[in-house]
Each structure stands twice: as structure tokens, then as C-alpha cells.
Amino acid sequence: MFLDIIRVSGINEALTGLALNKLQPVENMEEVANKLCKANAGSHKKFLRMIQIWIKIQAPMYWWYEYDTYKVGVTRQSSSIMHKPLEHIKFSKYTLPEVIEAYKALLSKEGVTIQEIKANTPAGVMYESVVNLNYQVLQTIYKDRHNHRLEEWRYFCKRLEILSHFHWIKGE
């Protein structure tokens, strides 16, 4: 798995909106935000939804199946194996060599249909996407997945630690 944080935007705007809501100076909002990020749910966390993040992710398809759970307020643009030359298709380190060879043989087969390719693509094929999501989605992902049995989830959550105001994502 590969993860590159491209950009984070909206922290100041979120704090400014919070200041309007609380009728206080924006300078006081960091402390207010530190409290609100711990709320169980609801509108108290809406300032987190204003903080946008763009991340480039390369992960196996089996990870993307689980990631799709978090698609509320999320946009994803992704690569397609249909447009990649065979030699550029990557696989998870856990994909068995015989599965890789069988898949490559299928792609090289004369007259193979798109339905046959899609129906037989291994879940270990690596897909690349740029995703746009927000800090509230990241908070939910972190809460649900930081101790997950799939190492890709633990890696994803660990990479979030470099973000500004990571404690808001962690809910601390």
C-alpha cells in the first residue's frame, strides 16, 4: 500500500465558522474545537466536515471494498486496469504467484471479453486513486480501523498521524 497526502485545506475556515457559531473571537476556537472533536456524534462535529483532504492511495482491491464504507461526502477518481499495459499492473505482496500468472494469461488471451476480465480480476490487484474526504470521515475511519486486522488499515491510520490537528481525527 502507498499513501501520499497531497493537500489539506480549510482548517482556518472551519475555525472561523466555529467562531461565528459561538459568537467568540477566532483565536478562542482552537480550544473549543479540541472539545467538540470528542463529541459522540451529530452537528457538534460539523467543523470537521469543513476541513478537506486530498490523498493519493495505491491499495489492493480488497482494501478498496472496505474503504467504500466511508463514501459519504467523499469523491474518488481512480485508475483502471483496462487502460494499463499488462506490465504495469501491480499486485498485493500477498497475491500468490500462480494467481498472478493466471490473470496475466487471461489478459493475454485472444477474444477475452471485458466481463470475463472483470469477473476474474483478483482482489489483490493494486488500484490507484486520488480521494477527497474530510476530517470527520477520517475520524470515523480512524476510530473504526486503527487496530484492524488488515495491515493496510493500520498503515493508513498511522500515516494520518502527520496531519495538522491529528488529535481532532483521533478524537483526543
Give yes or no for residue 95 having a pLDDT over 90.
yes
Give yes or no for residue 113 having a pLDDT over 80.
yes
Do both 13 and 30 map to the same domain?
A: yes
- Phi first, then psi, for residue 161 (nearest 5°) are -60, -20
Give yes or no for residue 161 having a pLDDT over 90.
yes
Give yes or no for residue 54 having a pLDDT over 90.
yes
The answer to whether 79 and 155 have CB atoms below 8 angstroms apart is no
Q: Which domain holds residue 45?
A: 2-76+127-170
Do both 54 and 119 map to the same domain?
A: no
Lowest mean pLDDT among 2-16, 66-80, 90-104, 112-126: 66-80
What CATH number has the domain bearing residue 41?
Answer: 3.30.1360.170
Do both 152 and 164 map to the same domain?
A: yes
Number of separate domains in the chain: 2
| pLDDT tier at 43, thresholds 50, 70, 90 | low
Do both 132 and 99 map to the same domain?
A: no
Do both 11 and 61 map to the same domain?
A: yes
Please tell me the predicted confidence (pLDDT) of residue 157.
Answer: 97
Please tell me the predicted confidence (pLDDT) of residue 22.
Answer: 82
How high does pLDDT run on average in the chain? 89
Do both 55 and 96 map to the same domain?
A: no
Q: Which amino acid belongs to residue 164? A: S
The answer to whether 92 and 124 have CB atoms below 8 angstroms apart is yes
Q: Tell me the per-residue pLDDT of 11-32, one tens digit each, with 9 for 90 and over.
A: 999 999 989 888 999 999 899 8
Nearest Cα to Cα of residue 52 among 20, 80, 74, 33: 74
29: its cell numbers: 476556537
Do both 106 and 122 map to the same domain?
A: yes
Q: Which amino acid belongs to residue 152? A: E
Give yes or no for residue 87 having a pLDDT over 80.
no
Do both 146 and 92 map to the same domain?
A: no
| pLDDT tier at 82, thresholds 50, 70, 90 | low
